Amino acid sequence: MMAMDYSKIGGLIIKYYNEELSEAEDKELKDWLNLSEENRLVFESLADPSIMISKLEMLERVDKQAEWEKILGQIAPRKEVQMTRTRWGRYVAAAAIVGAMVIGGYLWLHRSSLSSRKEIVKQEDPANGIKNDIPPGGNKAILKLANGNTIVLDSAHNGMLYHQDGASIEKKSDGKLAYKALHEKATEIQFNTLSTPRGGQYFVELSDGSKVWLNAASSLRYPVSFTGKDRLIELSGEAYFEVAKNKVMPFHVKVKDVTVEVLGTHFNVNAYDDEDAMKTTLLEGAVRIVKENAGTLMKPGQQVQVNKNGNVKLITEADMEQAVAWKNGNFQFNSNDIETVMRQLARWYDVGKVVYEGKKTAHSFSGTISREYNASDVLKILELSNVHFRIEGKTIIVMQ
């Protein structure tokens, strides 16, 4: 009965009331009206003002912007297994992640590594006891927008992700996020939060040009666009900063009750809860560490440590290389004990538990190992210092 293309009828009726019907269209509409009484009734109902008002009111009740953001939040994760290439040329299979909500709270379904190693450390000996290897971390992070919606960045498309609140957000490539200030200024300051899981890392360029490298198990909260008196950033975990100069708007990094006031450029903040002190290392420029109104001015090459008791210590010749080794893709240990070493490994390899069997080794570990390796390769290097490891699923067992 409906031989005609009903998908165009709505448009024809609109044109009718717009008084824009062409002759051909007018005929098409009349033909449809002549087909049945039902058709004519539908046509008449569309002129009824009370029905129109109720339909339009129904539309007014929907927050279309919020619904759009829900869609955006869901189109980032893709529900198929994909192979992603990390920036160092390793192949890691990343499983899909379904709509995570809370910072740091998401599940990984499964991972397996197909490795083509650059340097071959000893061939794996089955008798060695390291089975079910753990691949290295990669570019993974979750971005939480001002309205609370989250985007899983590792599986998001490259390109524009969002724009509102005075800036546009673009995923430039694997592992890189960039904010660009827009001409329309935001009416109020809105914050985004970038979080990395264990085994993750990410780079973000903020809308003022400042660059931040975020290490694993870390979280950075920052304004989408900088319109206030200062640039206030909140950090937990570890990040390396290269701050864009702006004398009029000072840059502050807040870690709980300690504020790093940035007076120029390149520094690293290490503030993991499970480490005994928060360490800020200055490579270039000038920085002041402020805790409860007491400030410590730093010069390049120095490191300030604030421990759990609140004591502030200034180290004048700090190990710059060690502080930023992670950003350069390496683990670097400098007479560190086994527990410190294992904590760093645990964050990068997303190890669930570290178990110590027997007497804990008193050995201090020094050296540089690439972060690109699988856990077993790194552990094999550490085994040269007379300690043994076993990997069982997500647990590493340390034995004398």
Partner 1 sequence: MSNDKDDDSEFIVRFRNGNIDAFNEVYRMYYNAIYLFANALIHSEMEAQDIVTESFVKLWRLHPNLESLPNIKAFLYLATRNACFDYLRNLKRHNASYKEVLYLSKESPNEIEFEIIKADYYNEIALQIENLPKQCAEVFKLIFFKGKKTFEIAEHLGISNKTVLAHKRNAIINLRSALLRKSMLPLILLSLLPTIVSLLFLSPFTNPTTASDYIFIIF
Which residue number, 59 or 294, has a Cβ lying nearer to partner 1? Answer: 59
- The widest CA-to-CA distance across the chain, in whole angstroms, is 94
Q: Does 60 bind partner 1 (CB under 8 A)?
A: yes
Angle, CA 96 vertex, CA 91 and CA 101 arms, to 5°: 130
Interface mask toward partner 1 for 134-173; x: CB under 8 A: -----------------------x-xxx------------
In the list 2, 98, 109, 114, the residue contacting partner 1 (rule: CB under 8 A) is 2
Neighbouring residues of 123: CB distance < 8 A, sequence distance ≥ 6: none
Buried b (16+ CB within 10 A) or exposed e, 199-229: bbbbbbbbbbebbbbbbbbbbbbbbbbbbee
Residue 38 lies near partner 1 (rule: CB under 8 A): yes
Residue 13 interacts with partner 1 (CB under 8 A): yes or no:
yes
Cβ atoms 286, 263 nearer than 8 A: yes
Q: Which is nearer to partner 1, 44 or 257 (CB)?
A: 44
Q: Does 56 bind partner 1 (CB under 8 A)?
A: yes
**Please, what is the minimum distance in Å from the beta carbon of residue 100 to partner 1?**
16
Stretch near partner 1 under the rule CB under 8 A, chosen from 13-21, 206-214, 253-261, 310-318: 13-21
Query: CB 314: neighbour CB atoms within 10 A?
Result: 14
Q: Which is nearer to partner 1, 26 or 276 (CB)?
A: 26
Contact 385, 373 (CB under 8 A): no
17 sits near partner 1 (criterion: CB under 8 A): yes
Strands 294-298 and 287-291, by their bridges, are antiparallel
Contacting residue, 26, 276, 321, 357, with partner 1 by CB under 8 A = 26
Provide CB contacts within 8 A for 384, sequence distance 6+. none
Q: Which stretch binds partner 1 (CB under 8 A): 20-28, 176-184, 192-200, 277-285?
A: 20-28
- 19 is a contact residue toward partner 1 (CB under 8 A): yes
Smallest distance, partner 1 to C-beta of residue 80, A: 10
Given the complex with partner 1, which of 100 and 130 has the nearer CB atom?
Answer: 100
State in angstroms the smallest separation of the CB of 55 from partner 1: 5
User: How far apart (Å, rounded) are the C-alpha atoms in residues 191 and 193?
Assistant: 7
Cα-based distances in Å from 362 to 130, 353, 367, 370, 400: 22, 20, 16, 24, 10
How far is residue 95 from each of residues 72, 78, 386, measured CA to CA in Å? Answer: 20, 9, 36
Q: How many residues bind partner 1, per CB under 8 A?
A: 46
Torsion angles phi and psi, residue 321, rounded to 5: -60, -40
State which H helix or E strand residue 255 sits in.
strand 251-255
Judged by CB under 8 A, the residue of 24, 34, 50, 59 near partner 1 is: 59
With CB under 8 A as the contact rule, the residue among 6, 245, 297, 321 that binds partner 1 is: 6
CB 179, min distance to partner 1, A: 16
Give the footprint of partner 1 on this chain (CB under 8 A). Answer: 1-2, 6-7, 9-11, 13-14, 16-21, 23, 26, 38, 42, 45-47, 49, 52-53, 55-62, 64, 67-68, 70-72, 74-75, 78, 157, 159-161
